[in-house]
Chains A and B, each alone.
Chain A
């Protein structure tokens, strides 16, 4: 299982773009990179998943360089409601089990 490292906390202001980088030096060939968001006293929420290059959805973009040893979650024009903990998870989609391993995540605080 690839270990992930991400900053403990980040601060931003409303309207700015936020980039949260996660390093996963030991990522395996079959591993995918998945990001979740968690608000206080709520369950985690799936944001985005990717294998390589760039993935974009209505919420965020995920940038993965060619060596896949890191990934960057990009949140465009954040608002106060984006204040949450963001988790980077790396796992083998070849496994049928789907167990998620959460680390400490990155606490993003957005200020007015």
Chain B
């Protein structure tokens, strides 16, 4: 069964450093997402991406965040200057394009645990 993969599984960084989290979505999916989950909290939407541009972003996704699809397979989330409160599990997800709209059946990756010290 196809799956979403994410690297690294765990990233430790110092406050103020830049991090790039990587994801390989399912190959025939067209919609890509990043979510995050702070320990013990809800899963929160960050951004959705379609046709090489951001479709929607949440209030969490400020100027410190950016996303990119640098080639035909990878989808990345960059945090320019990490803060302590960015420590969380970051999930990438992808979905198919069904009947002219993004599907609510999203496939999530295993996550990257980001620890900012």
* Residues on A facing B (Cβ under 8 Å): 32, 34, 38, 41-46, 49, 87, 89, 91, 93-104
The 8 closest A-B pairs by CB, nearest first: A98-B102, A43-B108, A102-B43, A43-B91, A96-B101, A46-B105, A34-B104, A97-B56
> Cβ of B95 < 8 Å from any Cβ of A?
yes
Q: Is the CB of B104 within 8 A of A89?
A: yes
Q: How far is the CB of A62 from chain B (nearest CB, A)?
A: 13
- Against A, the Cβ 8 Å flags (1 = close, 0 = not) of B96-117 are 0000111111111111010000
Q: Is the CB of A46 within 8 A of B106?
A: yes
Q: Is the CB of A103 within 8 A of B48?
A: no
Known: A32-B104, A49-B104, A104-B42. A43 touches B109 (CB 8 A): yes
Main SS class of interface, A: loop
Cross-chain contact of A98 among B89, B106, B113 (Cβ < 8 A): B106
Chain B residue at smallest Cβ distance from A48? B105
> Cβ of B65 < 8 Å from any Cβ of A?
no
14 contacts between A and B (CB under 8 A): A34-B105, A41-B111, A41-B113, A42-B111, A43-B91, A44-B106, A44-B108, A91-B104, A98-B33, A99-B33, A99-B48, A102-B35, A102-B43, A104-B42
